[in-house]
Structure 1
Amino acid sequence: MNSTYANHAHQIWQAMIKDHSGEWGMDIHHWDWVPGVGVIAMLEYYEATRNPEILAYLQEWVGQNCEKAKGTKVINAIAPYAIFPALYQITNDTWFRDEAVRIAEWLIKDTPRTRENAFEHTVTENVAFPEQVWADTIYMAVLCLARTASLVGSTVYAEEALEQVLIHLRLLQDEETNVLFHGWNCGSGDHMSAARWTRANAWIAAGIPMIVKEIDQLVAIPEELKERYGRLMAGLLAYQQEDGLWSTVMDQPHFYREVSGSAGIAYGLLQGMEMGLIPSKDETFAAVELVFRAIVPYMTEEGIVKGVSGGTPVMPTIQAYQDDIPTYPTLYGQGLVLMLLAKVGQVEKMNHEQR
């Protein structure tokens, strides 16, 4: 990795693995989507650097926290399992493979679904969102299913992962702007507050090329997916602000800038080009570089990423995303920025080698 990206990435990773007990956003020692996004990002960082310390930490983390996973299975709590297929391939410990398959079977057979057959978005908190489809689900659960499909060669898992991606795109994509609404209520048949929330778009912008990478040898990727993803990414670029970031609700430029969603979109742009889902263009690379430069001032010397909005359900109004969701450090904010840094570093290295 380029030394600039490498130094920032190392600082961010170090901040993630420190003791943040009692701090919801940064406490990595529980089993849910927040640390899940964190460890998914650490795996990306390991794959970019092959630093054995990162791999050792991931194995240690699973050992310390896997007992906490034995409660009720919900979509958000699937996220940490997305690292299990790779850990099996690296360590040859069959426990990782067996656990990944167990979770894939639950997703296929038992997870609650909406009337459109989408995975219903379920969370560990004592609250339910019946018949609701959220963009978050693609990253939190479908990514794990796709990686398990690749690991065991299952067309059944791959087809389900593809179907979930298509259902979510069909239900959430705004045909006017091509970007995504945060959620869909199957019961009322609407997008609720109809917020074009930036981090919702980031989960799918980043998640789809990661999923396609896993399943494209098992199932044909339909033109509909490529066409919708291409429109999504073009639509997102149209909302990038002059400073390089996206507002927390992207069509509200006076709302605060949101770093985690911006990093996730930029990662998706790079991964989407790598997977051939969107054209590889100089202006797209320039947009990603602008994101990186804009994010740097939000990183402290201790590796903490600021400007990250807190956990966000579908809010009752668009204004509530601005007024009621504060910003504070989180593992998903750290993680999405770490993923971007790792991917940019890989692209820089590849370009250097080709010169």
Structure 2
Amino acid sequence: MITIVRSILAGIAVSLALYGQAQNIDLKTWPEKANPITVGRLVAQRFVESPHNSFKPPAPPRSITYPEVCTWYGALKFADISNDKVLLEQLTQRFMPLFDTEKHLVPRPWHVDFAVFGTVPLELYQQTQNKTFREMGMRFADAQWSLPIDSPQTVKNAYQKLLDKGLTWQTRYWIDDMYMITMVQSKAFQVTRERKYIDRAAHEMLVYLDTIQKENGLFYHAPDAPFFWGRGNGWMAAGMSELLSSLPIDNANRPAILASYKKMMASLKKYQRKDGLWGQLIDKPESWVETSGSAMFTYALITGVRNGWLDAKEYTPIARKAWLALVDYINEQGDISNVCEGTNRKDDYQYYLDRKQKTGDMHGQAPILWCVNALLKK
């Protein structure tokens, strides 16, 4: 009899434990190390204390680079969602020298990697209502669809053909374009409420998806580099998420973009590793765990669940597992490890496996902050 009672009690204990675990499969309840506010404060403050980013330290940067822009933007969004006025002031003061003593660091908007800079002043305008920020940011957004006057005529002719198709002259069909282009255009729409900005971003996105998305929902690094590189795919995942978050329901391209997004998320679900993250090469289990791409995927998944684009029951455990795994790579200083260094395309499998793994690189810092904001969003 005693044995039977003990068995029943043990069964009840197991059931309660499993029930407790089930109740915690959400995107709201976290252990302290994974608490979005805790992580956000740590990583945002690390950014505030960091010098301007450069691809080749310790040489001083020639201009503000896109990894810094993306981290700056993430920190600004965290300041807003957490109502941290002190952080907002710190991030604003980091920007102010760009109008004066550091104006040489403001990039020219002649390339997608530089045009995305406009995202930061536009976000600063939204939070401060300082029109100087708006004017600067809009110059970058408008430049993407304005023919550059200082280009040779033969180049202008090629650019004009793209503009005639409703595409930016900066179109290259590179996967990271779909964050760099759609991000600044989405912000311009949020600031001005002029549909042309978001509508042209959606058209650009659809053309890219029709051109470069593969049957499995993922993307090669380039046509001549047929590898599903993690961070490259991360830019696409994040870009679609940002665009869909702002894109009006009545935009004709929205259903096709959403379908492509869901197709990619289903593939990422398939390739998620047992530890919760994704590899340097997504479909190659022998490749090393890479955190910047993994964080971008996590951001896209959280955003999809939060907005109802993805089935919550199916995708919440995936997003939760990924976030819990990511925070284990963040050290006490607020730096995330296992970040792939800057990587150009190459038709060489071993090249991708041999890329250096960095700690504290802003390619990885940025999407951690994006995840924080997505988790905190109501």
Q: TM-score range by the shorter chain?
A: 0.7 to 0.9
* Residue deviations 1:103-143 (CA, integer Å, cap 9, x gap): 1221012378597765576xxxxxxxxx8421111212321
1:248 deviation in Å?
0.8
1:72 deviation in Å?
5.9
* Aligned partners of 1:312 and 1:325 also within 8 Å: no
1:313 deviation in Å?
1.6
1:290 deviation in Å?
0.9
Task: Give the alignment partner of residue 200 of structure 1, picking from 232, 240, 255.
Answer: 232
Distance 1:230 1:151 in 2: 28
Q: Aligned pair 1:73/2:110, yes or no?
A: yes
Equivalent position of 1:36 in the other structure = 69
* Residue deviations 1:161-214 (CA, integer Å, cap 9, x gap): 011111221222111x1112223xxxxxxx111111111121121222212222
* Aligned partners of 2:52 and 2:64 also within 8 Å: no
Equivalent position of 2:181 in the other structure = 141
Distance 2:159 2:235 in 1: 20
Distance 1:180 1:242 in 2: 22
Equivalent position of 2:299 in the other structure = 267
Task: Give the alignment partner of residue 96 of structure 2, picking from 63, 69, 86.
Answer: 63
Q: Aligned pair 1:291/2:322, yes or no?
A: yes
Which AA in structure 2 matches 1:213? S
1:99 deviation in Å?
1.9
SS in 2 for 1:267: helix
**TM-score of the superposition, structure 1-length normalised?**
0.84
The structure, 1 or 2, with the larger RCO (C-alpha pairs under 8 Å, 6+ apart) is 1
1:217 deviation in Å?
6.3
Distance 1:334 1:113 in 2: 34
SS in 2 for 1:285: helix
Which AA in structure 2 matches 1:139? Y
**Percent identity, aligned pairs only?**
20
Which consecutive residues of structure 2, in runs of 5 or more, have no partner in the other structure?
Answer: 1-27, 149-157
Equivalent position of 1:160 in the other structure = 200
1:246 deviation in Å?
0.4
Sort the Cα spacing of 1:315 and 1:44 in 2 relative to 1 into closer, same or farther, 3 A. Answer: farther
Q: Aligned pair 1:82/2:119, yes or no?
A: yes
Which AA in structure 2 matches 1:164? E
Deviates more, 1:88-97 or 1:321-330: 321-330
Distance 2:129 2:300 in 1: 30
Sort the Cα spacing of 1:314 and 1:77 in 2 relative to 1 into closer, same or farther, 3 A. Answer: same
Distance 2:123 2:188 in 1: 9
* Aligned partners of 1:40 and 1:80 also within 8 Å: no
Q: Aligned pair 1:97/2:134, yes or no?
A: yes
* Aligned partners of 1:34 and 1:332 also within 8 Å: yes
Sort the Cα spacing of 1:100 and 1:223 in 2 relative to 1 into closer, same or farther, 3 A. Answer: same
Q: Name the larger-Rg structure.
A: 2
1:156 deviation in Å?
2.0
1:239 deviation in Å?
0.9
Runs of 4+ in 1 over 4 A off after TM superposition: 20-23, 25-30, 111-121
Equivalent position of 2:263 in the other structure = 231
1:21 deviation in Å?
6.6
Which consecutive residues of structure 1, in runs of 5 or more, have no partner in the other structure?
Answer: 122-130, 184-190, 351-355
